[in-house]
Structure 1
Amino acid sequence: MSDKEQEEKQQLLMDVATLDDFAHINPASVLAMSNSLHFHTLEMVFQEAAHAAKEAGDDSAVRAYNVLAVICSYHFNPDRSDAFTPQIIMGGRRSLIPSDYLGEQQVILTEIAEQVDHPLLRARIADSCWYSNKKLHTMAELASSSYLNAVESFFSKALLYQYESDFEVPSKVVDLIERAFAIYASIGKRKNTPDTAKKTFALTYQTAKDNQNLVAFHRLSSLGQSCGLIEWRDIAIEAEAMAIAAKDKQYAEAVKKVWLHAAHAYFKLGDKESSTRCKVSAVDQTLRMRDAVGSATAKASWTRDAIGELRSIGGMQEKIEVLKKELQQYEDDSLSELGEFSIPIDLTEERQATIEDFEELEVHEMLFRLAFITSNPEKIALHKNCLKKRSQYFFSSMSEKSYSDEKGKVIATVSSAPLGNNPSEEWFDYESLAEMSFHYHISVEGFIKPACMTMSRCQSIDERHLEPIAYHSAFVPPGHESVFALGFARLIQGDMISAAHTLIPQLENSLRYVLNNRGSSTAKLNIDLTQEDQSLSQMYSNRKKELEQAFGVDITYAFHLLFNLKGGPMLRHEMAHGKFTAGECHQSACIYACWLMFHLACAPLYRHWESHIARAIQEITH
C-alpha cells in the first residue's frame, strides 16, 4: 500500500459517517443503485457515488458512501473463523478490516443496518459488526437472515449474479448459505435453525441436485448433514446417483469429489463394500483426467496419483500392477519431452583476468589463490532471491513442482508457496537449486577452470604438491591424506572423472571427523543396540547446528543442496550407488563440489599458509 493510500485509509477512519449522513443518502434506496450479488461490484458503486458526491461538494454523502465502500471491500472467507480479512496486504500495511470501525462508527452502523433495503449489504453491515463484537446478538441474527434473504432474492431474480456461469447454484450462493449457518452455529443454533433458513437451504439443495451442480451439491450436503438437515443414507444414495449420471460428462475432479463423498457417506453407514465401490469409481476419474492430457509426463503424474489412491483402498493389487506397467511406459516416453535451454553468458573478461592472475605465480601461491578464488553464496541471500522471484512470477509459484531422475521417475515434489503464505524450508531449498546452479556455472567457467588450466600449463603440479595441505588440514582424517592429495591433483589437472570419484566419497567421513573433534557424536544407536555412523542426510537432520558451528551456515547449506537434497545434484547419493556417469563428472556442480572440498581443506590453514604450507610446497617444487 502506497503512502498516499495509507493516508486515505487514515482519513476514512477519521471521517465518521453519522446517522444524519446515512439518512441523507437514504439506506432504503441502495437496491436501486445496484442489484448485484457481489460485494466487489457494490464497493465500486459506492466508490463512484462518493466520487460524484465529492465533485458536487456533498460532504455528507461522501462520508456515508466511503464507509459503505470500505465495508464491502473486506475479503470474505465464509468457511473460516476469520471471516473478514484485508483486501490488500503489502509492504507491512493493509487495507481496512471490521475492527478498524470499533467505537462510534460501529454504533452508528448497528443503528442503520436494518434500514438497508439491499439484503447483501444489510448482511455485510450486520455481520461485520457482530464479527468484531460478539455481544451484538441482534446483529448476528440480522446477518444470518439477510444472507438467506440475498439467496432468496437471487432465485427470484431480484439480485443478479453478474458473471457467466454454467450452474444454477454458483459458488457465491453457497458461500452466503455457509456463512449464514456458520453464524447460527456460533450463537448456538446449529441444530435449531429457523424454519425460513431450512426452507431456503432446501430450495438451494434441490436446485443443485436437479441441475447436476456437483460442487454445490457436495458443499451443501456436507453442510446439511452437520446441521441435522440431511441423513447420511440420503447423501450416499443421491451422491452415487449424481456421480453415475455425470461420470463421462462433467469435470472429472468434481465427479471424483462426489464419488468420494458417497464413499464417505457409505462408510458412515457401515457399508464398507459400497464405500469401496465408490472409491474405485473415484480412481476412474483420476485416470479420466490422465487420459485427457497429451503429455507423457503429465500422464505419468496422474498414474502415480491413481496408484496411491488404490493403495489407500486396499485389496487392489491387480489394478495396481496394471497401472505400474503403464506408469513405466509413460516415464520412458516422458524422457523424449525433456528439453534443454541455454542462456548465453559472456565470461571472457573473467576468464582472461583469472589466467593473468595465475600465470606469474609460484605453485604455493597458485594453490592458495585457487582455494579462495570464489565464495559460497549466503543462505539468506539465496532465500531473498527466491522470495523476489515468487513476487515476479506469481502464477508459477502457485503450482506444485516435481523433480525427476534420468529415467523419468519422479523422485521429489514440493508444494507451492503462493503470495500471502509463508514458504516452507523445503520450498526454499528447491527454489535455491536454480540460484545455486547459476553460481556453480559462473564460478567454474569464470574462475575455477581457467585457474586450473593455467596452473597445469605453467607448472607441473601433482599430488606431491598437495600432500602438505592434506597432512596439515583439520578437514582431512588421518590415513586419508594421500587420497585427498590425489583427488586435488586430478582436479587441477582436469581429470574430473578421477577427481570426482576420489573426493566426493570422502566428504561424509570428513564431516564426521570434524564434528567428532569438536565433541559431537555422529554415531546412531540401532534398535538391536548396535551402533553405526550417521549418513550425510542424517547428520544434516540431526546435527545441523553442529555443522553450522563448524563450517558456517552458508557452507552447511551448500552441503545439503549439492550432496544431499533429492532433486538436486545429489552427488553423495549418485556416487554411492554407482549412478554417476562420466559426463556428470564434467558438469559445473561436480567441479564446484570438488573445489569446495579443496577450499575446506585449505580454510583451516589460512593463517599458517606462509609459515607451514608455502615452505613445504617450495621444498618439493625446488
Structure 2
Amino acid sequence: MNERYPQNLIITVDDFVNSDCQKIINNIVGDSYSEYWSILSKKARERIDNGELKSGKILWIIADACSMMLNPNSKNEPFKPFAIMYQTNSRSAIVDDFTEDEIDFFENILEFCSDYRIKSRFADILWLKKSPKNIQHIEIAIENYQQFSLAYDNILDDSKSAWERAIKLSLWTKKSLELISNNLLAQFEKVDFADGYYLSYIEELLLLSQVDKRHYEEIIDKLELFANKFKTNKDFHRARSYFESCKNWTDDIDKLNKFIIEIAELYVLEAKSVNTLASGHFYENAIKEYRKVAGKHREKYDININDRIDEIHQEMNKSNLLSLDYMQPMDLGEVNLTELTNYSIKEVSDKNFEEALYRFANIYSSKDVNKLHKEATKSTEKFSISKLFGATHFASDGRVISKRAGMDFLDKESKDYEDSIFHEMVQSYDLEIDLITKASIIPAFQQLLFEHRITKDDLYSLCSTSSIIPAYRTVFWIEGLYFGFENNFIVSTHLLIPQIEHLVRVKMKEKGIKTSTISTDGIETENGLSTLLDNEKITEVLDETILFEFKALLTEQIGKNFRNNVAHGLCEVNTLRSIHAIYFWWLCLKLVLNNVPNGEDNK
C-alpha cells in the first residue's frame, strides 16, 4: 500500500479517546462497510493534509479494516481485498497489512467502540490474528454481527454475510445457536410475498442455524405458498428456487417427489414460454428432474412419470438444439488504445449491476474466424520470404511443442500451407487478445468491481438460468466465475476448463455425434477436448469463431494449450495469472450471460 502517514507513528488508546474519531464514526450516514470506508478514508486524507497525523492514521487503519470483503465461510482467510489493480501492481488492504502495534490498538479501543459494524470487524480480526486466541473476541464478534439489520433493504448489504459469519463462528466454537435461529425464525415469519427473493435469503440463514425441527412444517408451508404464487405470476425461476428450498426441510419421500414434480413441470412451462434457442435446455432439465424420482415410485402419483419423460423428450427433440454462437456483438470499430480504455470504462460505469455486468461481458466482439483467415493469408503471402523456411516453437521449459514446415506457395491446397496459415492466425489472435484484454477488459473489470460487489448469489441467479449450463454443473460454473471476480485466475482456470470440455461433449452427444473411442479389447474411453474439437462434425455444434478460440486458448500447441498444460501439471503460476487466463475467464462469463433467456434486454 502507498505510504499515507509516517510508518513509525505510534497511536494509543488515549489518542483515540481524546480525538473526535469516535464522533466521526457515530455520525456516518450509511449502512455498508464500503460507505464506512469511503467516508473514513476521505476524513483520513483531510486530517493528514492538515497535519493531524495521529487522528489521520487512526481513521486510515479503521477505514482499511472496513474496506475488506468478508467471506463468512472461510476459517483461515475470511477477509479479502475489495480491489486488485493489475496495471499498477497494487491492491486494497488485507488483514496481514496491519502491524502488531495496529492489531494491539484495535484490541485496546474495542471497549470504547459503540458502532456494531466497527466492533464486529475489530473482534473478528483480533480472533484471526491474536495469539493466543481470546474467546471473548469471538463472543464480541458473534454478538455484534447479530446487530446487523435483517430488513429487506439491508439483507444483501453486508447483513447476510454478517449473520452467516455469526453462525459459522458459533458452529466452529460449539456455541449455542438458539438465539440466532429464533431471531431468524421471527424474521422469516414476518416476510411478505412482495419482497421476492428475500424469503429465500432468510431461509438459507435458517438452514445454517440448525433451527429446531418442530418448525420445519411451518417453514415448508410458507416456502410452498411463495412458490405457488411465483408460479401463478409465471416467474418460473423463483418458483423453482422456492420449491428447491422446500426440499431442504423434509426427509419424507412423497413430499420430496412432490417438489421434484413441481420443479420439472416448471421447466416445461418455461420451455414453452421462451424461444427455441433455450427451450431444449429447459426440456432437458425437466427430464433430469423427473429422473430423480426412483423407479419404484414413478407410477404412484397422479401422472405416470415414465410416460411423462417420454412426452417431454419428444418435445425436446422438436426444439432446436442449443448452439454456442449466441454471442451479442459489439463492434468497437477502429479506435486508439486511450479511446478504447475510456470507452470500456464508460460502458460499465453508472449502470445497475445487471446492465453493467452484461455490458462488461460484451465489451469486445471476437474477430470472425473467416476474416482472421483472410488477414493471415494476406500477411503470409505479403511477407513470403520468411515463410519459405520452417519454424520450430518451444515451450518455456525448452520442449519443442510445434513445428511449421516451409511453405510451398504453389500448392495452396497442401496441409503444410494450411498449417502455416493456421499458425499465423493463432499468432495474430494472440496479439489481439493481449491488446484487448489490457486496454479494454481489465479496465472495465476494475471499474465493475469498484462500483459493484459480486456475490455467489448473484452468479447463481445467472448460472442457474443460462441455457449452456446443465443443472448438475451449476456449482462448478459459479465457483469458476466467482474466483475470477476474486482475481484468482489460478483457481478459475482449473475449474472452468473442464466445464468447457464437458459442455462441448454434452452438446455433441445431443447432436448424436460420437464422443468416445472403443479399443480393441472393448474398453470405451471418452475423448479429450483436443480430439472433440478436431471432430469433422464439430461445426454442427460450435460456431467456427468460438471453435477457433477454444483451439487457440485450450488445445493447440502453437496456442496457449491451457487444457492440456493444466491437465498435465505443466502450467506455471504466471501462466495462470496471465492476460490470456483473464481473457479465457471473461469468455466463459460471456458465454454464460449471452445464453441467459432475455439477457439481451440488459444491453
The bucket for the TM-score relative to the shorter chain is: 0.5 to 0.7
Which residue matches 1:215? 200
Give the TM-score normalised by the residue count of structure 2.
0.58
Contact 1:168 1:207 in 2 (8 A): no
Q: Distance in 2 between matches of 1:356 and 1:379?
A: 16
RMSD: 5.1
Q: Which runs of 5+ in 2 are unaligned?
A: 299-304, 330-367, 389-406, 446-458, 502-515, 550-555, 557-603
The offset of 1:112, in angstroms, is 0.8
Q: Distance in 2 between matches of 1:216 and 1:379?
A: 48
Which residue matches 1:141? 139
Which residue matches 2:238? 254
1:79 aligns with 2:73: yes
Contact 2:185 2:206 in 1 (8 A): no
Q: How does 1:226-237 map to 2 (within 5 A)?
A: 226=210, 228=212, 231-237=215-221
Structure having the higher helix fraction is 1
Q: Distance in 2 between matches of 1:171 and 1:245?
A: 26
From 41, 47, 51, the equivalent of 1:53 is 47
Q: How does 1:293-332 map to 2 (within 5 A)?
A: 293=274, 295-314=275-294, 315=298, 316-331=305-320
Which residue matches 1:43? 37
Q: How does 1:174-573 map to 2 (within 5 A)?
A: 174-189=160-175, 192-193=176-177, 195=179, 197=180, 200-208=183-191, 213-224=198-209, 226=210, 228=212, 231-249=215-233, 251-267=235-251, 271-293=252-274, 295-314=275-294, 315=298, 316-331=305-320, 343=371, 345-346=374-375, 347-348=377-378, 350-351=380-381, 375=420, 377=423, 392-393=440-441, 415=477, 417=481, 418-419=484-485, 420=487, 421=489, 422-424=491-493, 427=496, 525-526=521-522, 561=530, 564-565=531-532, 568-571=533-536
Which residue matches 2:335? none
1:89 aligns with 2:90: no
Q: Which moved more, 1:254-263 or 1:387-396?
A: 387-396
From 51, 58, 62, the equivalent of 1:68 is 62
Q: Which amino acid aligns with 2:170?
A: Y
Q: Distance in 2 between matches of 1:339 and 1:255?
A: 28
Give aligned-pair identity as a percent. 14
Contact 2:37 2:67 in 1 (8 A): yes
Which residue matches 2:580? none
Q: Distance in 1 between matches of 2:170 and 2:408?
A: 80
Q: Which runs of 5+ in 1 are unaligned?
A: 1-5, 156-164, 433-507, 510-521, 528-533, 542-559, 590-595, 597-622
Q: Kindly tell me: are residues 524 and 200 of structure 1, through their superposed partners in 2, closer, same or farther at Cα, counting changes over 3 Å?
A: same
1:125 aligns with 2:100: no
Q: Kindly tell me: are residues 16 and 285 of structure 1, through their superposed partners in 2, closer, same or farther at Cα, counting changes over 3 Å?
A: farther
The offset of 1:117, in angstroms, is 2.0
Q: How does 1:543-622 map to 2 (within 5 A)?
A: 561=530, 564-565=531-532, 568-571=533-536
SS in 2 for 1:177: helix
Q: Which amino acid aligns with 2:535?
A: M
The offset of 1:211, in angstroms, is 6.1
Q: Distance in 1 between matches of 2:264 and 2:6?
A: 53
Q: Distance in 2 between matches of 1:318 and 1:18?
A: 75
Q: Which amino acid aligns with 1:34?
A: I
Q: Which amino acid aligns with 1:204?
A: Q
Contact 2:9 2:54 in 1 (8 A): no
Q: Distance in 2 between matches of 1:353 and 1:385?
A: 19
Q: Which amino acid aligns with 2:243?
A: W
Q: Which amino acid aligns with 1:312?
A: K
Give the count of matched residue pairs: 427
Q: Which amino acid aligns with 1:220?
A: L
Contact 1:13 1:100 in 2 (8 A): no
Q: Which amino acid aligns with 1:63?
A: K
Contact 1:27 1:116 in 2 (8 A): no
Q: Kindly tell me: are residues 235 and 296 of structure 1, through their superposed partners in 2, closer, same or farther at Cα, counting changes over 3 Å?
A: same
Give the TM-score normalised by the residue count of structure 1.
0.56
1:104-162, Cα deviation, whole Å (9 max, x unpaired):
111110111221222112111111221223712111111111121233xx76xxxxxxx
The offset of 1:53, in angstroms, is 1.2
Which residue matches 2:593? none
Q: Kindly tell me: are residues 26 and 39 of structure 1, through their superposed partners in 2, closer, same or farther at Cα, counting changes over 3 Å?
A: same
Contact 1:13 1:101 in 2 (8 A): no
SS in 2 for 1:7: coil
Q: Distance in 2 between matches of 1:333 and 1:194?
A: 48
Flag the structure with more relative contact order, 1 or 2, with Cα contacts below 8 A and sequence separation at least 6: 2
The offset of 1:19, in angstroms, is 2.0
